[in-house]
Structure 1
Amino acid sequence: MRAAGLEPLEPYPGSGSPWCCRHEACGREVTPRLGNISSARQGGCRYCAGKAPIPPDEAQALMRAADLEPLEPYATSMTPWRCRCTTCGSEVSPTLMKVRTGGGCRFCASHGFDLTAPARVYVMQHHQHNAVKIGIGGTAGRNERVNHHRRSGWVLARDWHFATGVEAHAVEQAVLRHLHEAGHGPYLNRDVMPNGWTETFGADLVTPATLAAIGTALLSSLPVTLYCSGSSAGR
């Protein structure tokens, strides 16, 4: 247990029984089983692994440590949490899960998607998984996100181009809100699709044409300027 970063707080109860320990990395008391630890079926601390509920005061402290001041009560680690960045003053809504894995203010990020550059919203389909996905990516040069998904079997069905990533992000989020309010949740899980699984939906209920129609319908209600609209052909 000590080799796994766990200090026992009681005598050994047997490999299949919970063993009260203190996780040296975070200081919390946890009760893993030696059998699970030795067979590598689980890590030593369910809190550090994101598998245990986080108290609201601790969640707020984690956000503030990432220079984000919460503007509403904490819900869950996977729920977008409206905050104000104390560095640039922008209002953003990252999830606590993303912040715990190194995320933060999307406007202050020095890597990844450029919100100030031209961007597109894309709709893709995976026939083997029977899934559709909406996402955003850059338009200048090689589009890493779309090409990355293509290598995993996804096919581009439709896209819209915008002058900035801020506009593309607004459209993507509006479509996702519409789908969530209609009762559609993520279709794939993190094991199948490590990046972008929360923006996937079952193709039996949400076809690529349906997703494209929702996006087109919402464009008129948003303060965005459509640069061009296309499909997978020639893209």
Structure 2
Amino acid sequence: MLTRGARPVEPFPGTQLPWKCLCLTCNEVSSPRYNDVVNKGTGTCNRTCRSRKIAAKLLRDGAEAGAVMLKWGWVPLVDYPGAGKGWSSRCIHCGVIKSKMLAHVQKGRGGCTNCAGRDVSDESARKVMGEADLRPLVSYPGSLQPWLCRCMRCGHVGTPTYAKVRARGHQCWTCRSEKIATALRLGEEEAIASMLEKALDPLVPYPGSTDLPWKARCTQCETVLEPGPALHNIRGSQGGCAACAERGIDPTKPGYLYLVVHDGHQSLKWGIANIDQRLTQHVSQGWKLAARWNFHQTGDAWAFERQIKAWVREQGIPKALTADQMRYGGHTETAYLADIGLALIQTYVVSLTGRDPEPLSTASSFGSDPLSVAS
């Protein structure tokens, strides 16, 4: 070991075991194996000496290193800093300046992320959304995350992703519904046939649009539906009679966003609905209404609800309850009050919607028409 530049500092442990030695070159202690040093030719120091050997092997002349960078599309802006260090360089294609490592570049992993479209700033993302007639209401969350935006064409709120807008252009649930309605527009004979297939007998002539309500009578329960369902809903998966079919939220109807708290569970819940019975269901299970915001269309409330959930979960706050603890559903929109206070989440909702909640004494006055059961 002395011949190879290391002085043992403990008795010989055997040929296959680490042997603590002091390197005579860098004065650092390492633990080589006698067998590796003698039979395999490995060094006696795996500290500074080893690092110097690797650096020497990787050492390149500055001109040679610069030629490699130019070959891969990067113009160095400073002298070569050495192996394993970032090298400030400019992309010859788009002009963006990046800190690139020579080792990554020469292995083919030094491509320009800006040219590839993967560098997205809040400013550039907002520009793309603005060109698609969407105005972001919160900071850029990432290309694949829901981004709360207001549609500049119809004024409604939605949560498209940057990636989808960049690939497909304008994204809005209300505008999309109008396109679908246009695509599904039918002649009167075919429209009546569609109604009859869902056990609905039209009581007035076809209104001429799949997006307009159509007064009809259910042939199964004899319920008169007025103003009646829209034909594009009938031809979709929503079924016909609201009294017979499985029911859900209609995003085009008036609705509301609410916050409720439960003293026993020490938790809060946010949700949306377009019938007052939804809150009655929660009250019957011990919940108390804390705040409510009314909307002309439930689809807008749904967009805000989705943003609230994303915001809460991004902070690492888990759901508080299980499905078994909530008879009427909605456990995925819960959180413990110890994790996030009611005042904090209410302040966040006010910042999103731009208005204070309804006075609790009049909060239910958002419409008197029969509406779909909430989620």
TM-score (norm 1): 0.48
Q: Which has the higher contact order (CA 8 A, sep 6+)?
A: 1
Structure showing greater radius of gyration is 2
Could you say which structure has the higher helix fraction? 2
Taking structure 2 as the reference length, the TM-score comes to 0.31
